[in-house]
Amino acid sequence: MSVKIGDAVYDVRDFGAVGDNKTDDTGAIQAALGACVPEGGTVLLPAGYAFSSFALTINNSNTELRIEGTLVVNDDRDSWPGELDFITGKYLDDVVIDGGGVVDGNGWVWWQNRDDFRPKLVSLKEGERALLHNITFENPPNHCLELSTSWLELSHVTVTAPPSTGVPVESHNTDAVDVHGPYMYVHDVVFDTGDDNVAVHANHTLVERSYFGHGHGASIGSLCDSWLTNLTVKDVVFNATTQAARIKTRPKCAGRVWAIRYENLAMIDVETPIVIDMFYPDDGTHDVTTMKIINVTFSNITATGGIIKDDASITCDPESPCEDLVFHDLAFSEGYDTTWTCGAVKSADINDVSPPGLSDCVAHSYAD
């Protein structure tokens, strides 16, 4: 992606930053970001330093935040300035966050109080052209990247957090990236976290050549009163995620999900490789919905190992059944319990699927 950044470079040390992970460097870093008004520029956090900070705002378009060292969320929760996320920007064009360094969210301080406010690490809204490249995010207190800009690229980005179950301090809601803006390209990333590895809420997204560790997979939604089209997830490894290819919509909602492709995926120790759930969250009411899910393809997918709940769990609404689903070249083995769960699938193209049973499951799932 081509972005235009201002020529000036502002080293945060020149504005008084210390970088000893003890001193509050918020004011110095924010002053450097302020210096980028109105022409833009690069704010440099040099290698060899750990800069502790409270919430920061990118003030101007054409700005690069180059983190070569470490930027640490200040662990003084009681002094956090209201309900502000950590790095924010709004109505900005041409923004870059890169540098090969680390953003440490100090999540341990926040996860133990999961019902209180917890900041997202990066929140970019309502702009165009943003690039996040060659950067690591660790232990986000909440969602790591909440992005509603359009024309966005994530490349060579790593996000890590502990799982959300089975560990002493669980990292709930630590989605690696939530996509709310159209035209997003995610590639060559490593996301190993406590919630959705990717959660897509917008059109025209491509995710490829990536590795997803612990988490809830590559998810659409959950959606309500939304239209979403043209998502492709391909050439991705899922290792120990709870789900992998996942679509979730809420009951009593309108909208449409169509032209979706999950292809060329390798799964290891994934609990449920394929999920379509039109009753998320399931509160037991199952009210009528006018949401439609059509033209979704799952192809060339292998899954091995693990203690598996289902090969696939497809729960569509009888009042608005799923249509034109495609299942081609699926091979689930070594630990899978050959269970297919189907509900309200009106039409499907099934070919070369192992273990057998999906065709019968779909055939008995819906009656006109």
Which residues are catalytically annotated? 216
| Alpha-carbon separation of residue 238 from 218, 228, 263, 266, 270 (angstroms) | 9, 23, 12, 6, 7
Report the DSSP beta bridge partners of residue 144: none
User: How far from 1 is each of 100, 126, 188, 205, CA to CA, in Å?
Assistant: 18, 18, 14, 14
Query: Cβ-count burial of 81 within 10 angstroms (0-12 exposed, 13-18 middle, 19+ buried)?
Result: exposed
Report DSSP state, residue 320: B
Count of CA atoms in the C-beta half-sphere (13 A) of 28: 19
State the Cα–Cα distance between residues 291 and 277, nearest whole angstrom: 11
Q: Hey, is 108 helix, strand or coil?
A: helix
Provide the token pair at 107: 């999540």
- CA 367 to each of CA 261, 277, 315, 322, 344: distance values in angstroms, whole numbers, following the listed order: 26, 19, 15, 12, 8
